[in-house]
């Protein structure tokens, strides 16, 4: 499943460059181009799903793999112990601009709650 107009599908296909920090058979993670914290990594399934609900509905363990990849990256970036945030913006009102599901792994600084 690939969407030819999707930026993150193009990153998976290596047609658009990105700083890749982690890769498994079915997941990819790369640094956000506009980082909001010392660690800001986008974790995605290589297959195209528009949002977290669509990914979860696939019900084949891929959502679990994305979340576990995020945690492994947090450990590698040494933010897991102090804590990090994993955010799936879903829909325009929440600020989703790329409609290929991605978890924002954010850490390395204090994070306010509630978010803006």
Does position 84 interact with ligand 5GP (CB under 6 A)? The reply is no
In the β-sheet with 84-87, what is the strand arrangement from edge to edge? 20-23, 27-31, 39-45, 103-107, 84-87
Residue 102 annotated in active site = yes
Does position 95 interact with ligand 5GP (CB under 6 A)? The reply is yes
Instruction: Report what 98 binds from Zn ion, ligand 5GP, none; CB cut-off 5-8 Å by kind.
Output: ligand 5GP
The residue behind tokens 């982690």 is 22
CA distance 19 to 85: 20
Does position 7 interact with ligand 5GP (CB under 6 A)? The reply is yes
User: Pick from 30, 44, 48, 63: which binds ligand 5GP (CB under 6 A)?
Assistant: 30
Residue in 40, 48, 102, 104 annotated catalytic: 102
Give the CA angle between residues 92, 14, 67 to the nearest 5°. Answer: 55
Size of the site for Zn ion (CB under 5 A): 6
- Active site members: 102
């Amino acid at each position: 499943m690939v969407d030819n107009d999707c930026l993150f599908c193009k990153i998976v296909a290596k047609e658009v460059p990105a700083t890749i920090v982690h890769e498994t058979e079915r997941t990819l993670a790369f640094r956000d181009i506009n980082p909001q914290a010392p660690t800001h990594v986008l974790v995605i399934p290589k297959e195209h799903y528009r949002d977290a609900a669509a990914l979860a509905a696939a019900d084949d363990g891929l959502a679990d793999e994305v979340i576990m990849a995020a945690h492994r990256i947090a450990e590698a970036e040494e933010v897991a112990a102090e804590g990090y945030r994993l955010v799936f913006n879903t829909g325009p009102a929440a600020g989703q601009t790329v409609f290929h599901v991605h978890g924002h792994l954010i850490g390395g600084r204090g994070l306010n709650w509630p978010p803006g």
